[in-house]
Amino acid sequence: MGRNVQKYLPFALSGVAIVILLLSSCNGLRRGAKGLSSSFDESQESMIMDSNGQAPMRVYHITNQQDSILLRTSSVNVIPDGNDVVLERFINRLYSTVRDSMSMGVGIAAPQVGILKNIIWVQRFDKEEFPFEYYLNPVITHYSPDKQDCLEGCLSIPDRMDTTRIRAETIVINYEEMGGNKIIDTISGFTAVIFQHEIDHLNGILYLDHLDKEMNKE
């Protein structure tokens, strides 16, 4: 390497660094232009951010053909991120929806408002004061062999309730918190039924599907 090249090398490297920095900034701006969240596409963001605060969202019903198609589609994971304003807004609006006077449910899954993401809210009847809690990317890893009969209804299936006999008495679930922590929990009784019902939604399954299977076995 010649002396003159060595002399100007620091300036050349500085120039390269500036170019890289500018390119990185441009890429960041492009990413920002495409969406506010790493978990939601532009269409989903538009649905979530179309209202201020915690306004309820429209519940999808199987009586509507387009709604029914979406409800039969599997969801995908979200990226836990406490700084994701879209994710936070969606979690709040999903809660408002399940607690809305038109719904008043004990659980809800993201597909029921048209967002195919693995997020659910469940009322924990197995805890003091029966709190509502949300769960990111929940997966059932174990079903007990003992089953329980339960009268089930669904916000997406209006004006109907049926008794299912396929729900496990106890389940083990894995899920993530907003900060990314991975949690394992064991749930029993009626609360376990709610979890099974809502996680079914994430896989495009409705409780009516279990009734059909039971009828085919008889």
Catalytic residues: 198
Q: Which residues contact 200 (CB under 8 A, 6 or more apart)?
A: 206, 207, 209
User: Minimal CA–CA distance to 166: which of 201, 119, 200?
Assistant: 200
- Count other Cβ atoms within 10 Å, centred on residue 191: 19
SS3 76: strand
Whether the Cβ atoms of residue 199 and residue 206 lie closer than 8 Å to each other: no
User: Minimal CA–CA distance to 186: which of 135, 128, 143?
Assistant: 143
For residues 107 and 133, give the distance between their C-alpha atoms in angstroms, rounded to a whole number: 9
The residue assigned the tokens 């009969």 is 149
